Every structure is written in C-alpha cells, then in structure tokens.
Amino acid sequence: MTTTRLLAEPLSADFGLYLSDTRTLAQRQSPWQHIEVFENPQFGRVMRIDGAFMTSERDEFFYHEPMVHLPAIAHAGVRRALVVGGGDGGSAEELLKLPGMEHVVMAELDGAVVAMAREWLGSIHQGAFDDPRFTLRLGDAREFIATTQERFDQIVLDLTDPFGPAVELYTVEFYSACRSILNPGGVVSLHLGSPIHLQESMRRIGASVRAVFPIFRPYLQYVPLYGTLWCMAMASDSTDPARLTAAEVDARIAERGITDLQLYNGATHHALLAQPNFVRAIFAQAAEPLRSGDVLADVRDPAELPPVVVTSG
C-alpha cells in the first residue's frame, strides 16, 4: 500500500480542503512565516504560507485578474500603482499588462516570499520582478505609506488573512493612510474573505472601508485553490465600476490593448459585481469598523485550529 502525502487547510473548525503534494520543491522558515512550494496534479506549482494555500500556477487568474483589472478598467488610466503584499508577483504582473503603466511599487514585508516566487513561480510573475517599471520595497508597508512622497492611481492590497499583526492592514487607520497617497479618482482593491464562513470579517472590513471612502463596491469570485466563494472589493473617492456597461468595459480593454486575460471581460465585470441576496444581507447588517488593536472573532490562525488528519491508501 502506498500513502499519498496530503496537505489540509482548515478554513474553519468545521470546514476545509486538501491538496496532494506530489513533490515538495522548496520550503523555508523566514523570520515571519513558513513558506512552501510544492507540485499538485490539479494546480501545478502551489505556494503555501503558514499552512494556507496562497496561489497556484493554474488558478491564479481567478484571483489576480479581478483584483487588478476591475478597478483598473474603471479608472481613466492607471499610470502608477502600489501593491501591498503580493510577494508571488501575480498582482504586479497583471498591473504591468496595462500599456500606460509607468511604475509599479510592491511593498512586501517578507523578502523570502519574493525569493521563493522568483525561483519557482515564473509562470505567475512572468518576469515582473525584472521589469524596469517595477520597484520592490521590502519592509513594513505602513511605514512606506506614511513616508513616501509618491502618489498612486491604484493600490492593490494583496494581503494574507487578517489575523495576528496583519489585522492592522484592514483598519480604518490603514485605509485612511492609503487614501492619503492616492491621486484624485484613484482606486483601491482588497479582499474581505469568504461569505460562506467569514461573514463577520466581511461586515467589519467593509465598514472600515466605507468609513474612509465614499464609493465601496464588493464583488465575488470563486477561487478554486481557496475552496470557496471569495469576496473582493474596490473603493474610491469618485471612480465607480458599476457605472460602466459591459460594452464600455470591452471597449476599454480593446482601446488600451490589454491582452492575455483568462477571466475578465465586460460580461464578467458585471457578473463579479452582482450580489446574491444573502451577500446583500451581510453588508446590510450594522458592523463596527476595525480600529488599530482590534481582532476579528471569526478569523483564526490555521495553527490554532484543531489538527487535521487526512489519509489516503
């Protein structure tokens, strides 16, 4: 009897998913987290951080394209962008598809994630780290945002889940700091978690964004690697993606010469923004915005969840 190595990620105490690891390519313990890259027959190369599946070669576009292109197309023309987190390079690669892009800055805490992605996830970053328009800023993104003199048209908050120190990047204070470095009409995109098992997080993060930005548009996408429906959102002082028709979205994609899109187009733009009734109900409930020092009750470090044992004979 042969035993297959299976890696499980508990999404809550009662729900999760597993992937087979046919070959571990690399693993490393950085000062902040444990990073792995392994091969899976369904997803190709997969990056896992602290036990959570982050991105894969074959499904990364389900996440990266909506995070980047829905807000970018709504904007009049993004030229300067900031990625907070995003060490796998997927968001930067999507931003660099925009023909008018002049400069992409990535503020990433952990250089080990970038190094692992550079070596093993070339099909995701597509050489973005070596593009002359790209700049990597290693360190605390809050410090970078507080001190930079640069101004951006788009900010992509491509972050780990909001537990531990990362919660500080989901607060009213942080969103206010982001707004302060946006040009007029600038756009911010972020993820809020799953409406299936992280409803309190969605409400509170949404309330935090709405406390800062007058326009807040949640949108939904199923991400296969995450095993669940995922909620993202964009925010702005004046740019609203809901104002565009499907034909206008397709026209902007064509006019701007954006290619190699596997998911995003005019029809999916509106499908992403469509909210089922149960999601409308989540955001309709009153919620307290997150402030510095707060925690989210429904988000837990995977290491704190009950151990998961998966066997295959």
The span from the CA of 103 to the CA of 82, in Å, is 8
CB atoms within 10 A of CB 113: 25
CA distances (Å), origin 11, targets 22, 50, 301, 306: 22, 13, 10, 11
Contact 15, 99 (CB under 8 A): no
Exposure b/e, 67-90, CB count within 10 A at least 16 = b: bbbbbbbbbeebebbbbbbbbbbb
- Residue 300: left if φ>0, alpha if ψ -120 to 50, beta else—which one? beta
- Our CA angle for 201, 71, 118, nearest 5°, is 80
Query: Which among 59, 153, 158, 161 is annotated as catalytic?
Result: 158
Phi and psi (nearest 5°) for 88? -75, -15
Please tell me whether residue 81 adopts helix, strand or coil conformation.
strand
Strand partners, 137: 107
Residue 152's Cβ-count burial label (10 Å; 0-12, 13-18, 19+) is buried
Q: Would you call 161 a catalytic residue per the annotation?
A: no
Tokens found for residue 264: 């995003």
Q: Report which of 224, 143, 157 is spatially closest to residue 188, judged by C-alpha positions.
A: 157
Q: Active-site positions?
A: 158
